[in-house]
Amino acid sequence: MSVHLFIAGDSTAANYPSNQAPMAGWGQMIDRFFTNNVVVINKALCGRSSKSFINEGVLNKIINSIEPNDYLLVQFGHNDEKPDKALYTEPFSTYQECLRKYVNGARKKGATPILITPVSRRIYDNNGNIKQTHGDYPEAVRILGHDLQVPVIDLCSSSTALLESLGPEESKRLFVWLKPGEHVNYPEGSRDNTHFNEVGAKKIAGLIVKELLNFSIPLRNYILNRAC
C-alpha cells in the first residue's frame, strides 16, 4: 500500500528544472530517504507565502487529492516576511491563521499534517553564528503546533546548527555558490545564500527525515536506514 507525502512550501522546498541545476529544493530530494511505499507529491512553489499558496488555490488542490493516512508537510516563512500585500502575513495572527487552514484541511480528510519552521539562510555574523533572519515566524510555528497538537519539525534550529558547524566557507558547498563560468546555467556565477544545490537540498531533506523519526507516526516505518 502506498502512502502519499504531500509538500506545501516555497522555493526552498520546490522542484527545479534541469536548466536551473544545480539549484534544488529539499522536497526534490526527500523521496530517496523512504522506501518505495512512499510517493512524494511536491507542490511547493517558488515565491509563495502561506497566504498566496492558499489564494492561488494550490492548497485546495492538495486537500482535494489527499487521502486518509497520507501526510502533508508544510513549510513557509521566507516570503511571508516580504512587504508585499499578496504575500505578507503577521507571525502571530495571519501567518498562524493560514497555517491552521493547512492543518484543518488535512485533518478533515484523515491525513496527518506536519508543520516545519522555515529553513535558515546562510547569513553569518562576525562571530561565525547564523543570523536569525526569520524573526518571530519560527516561534509562531512552534506555538501553533503545540496549541493544535501537530508535530513540528524545527528546521530553523537544525539547519542553523548545521550551518554553524560547517562555518562560512564550508557551508558554501550546500548553496548555489558558483564562480563565473563554473556552470553553464550560471555563466556569471552565483552567490545565493537562500537556495540550495543538490548536495545541500539532500542534506536539508535528511534533517527533516531525522526529525520524523521522533514522531509516533506510521510514516517512520518507511524511512530507510541511511536517513538515521
Q: From residue 166, give the alpha-carbon distance in Å to each of 74, 117, 122, 162, 173.
A: 27, 21, 11, 6, 10
Indicate if 188 belongs to the active site. yes
List 11, 120, 171, 190, catalytic entry: 11
Cβ-based neighbour number of residue 143 at 10 Å: 15
Question: Could you confirm whether 195 is annotated as catalytic?
Answer: yes
Q: Which long-range contacts (CB under 8 A, 24 or more apart) does 133-136 make?
A: 134/77, 134/78, 134/81, 135/81, 135/91, 136/91, 136/92
Report the SS3 class of residue 104: helix
In the annotation, is 11 catalytic?
A: yes
Residue type, position 90, single letter: E
**Alpha-carbon distances of 127 from 80, 169, 191, 210, rounded to whole Å:** 28, 13, 21, 28
**Out of 50, 52, 78, 195, which one is annotated catalytic?**
195
Distance CA 199, CA 17 (A): 16
Helix %, strand %, coil % for the chain, to 5? 45, 20, 40
Identify the CA nearest to 189 among candidates 176, 199, 170, 201.
176
**Of 165, 169, 188, 216, which one is the catalytic site residue?**
188
Q: Which residues are catalytic?
A: 11, 188, 195
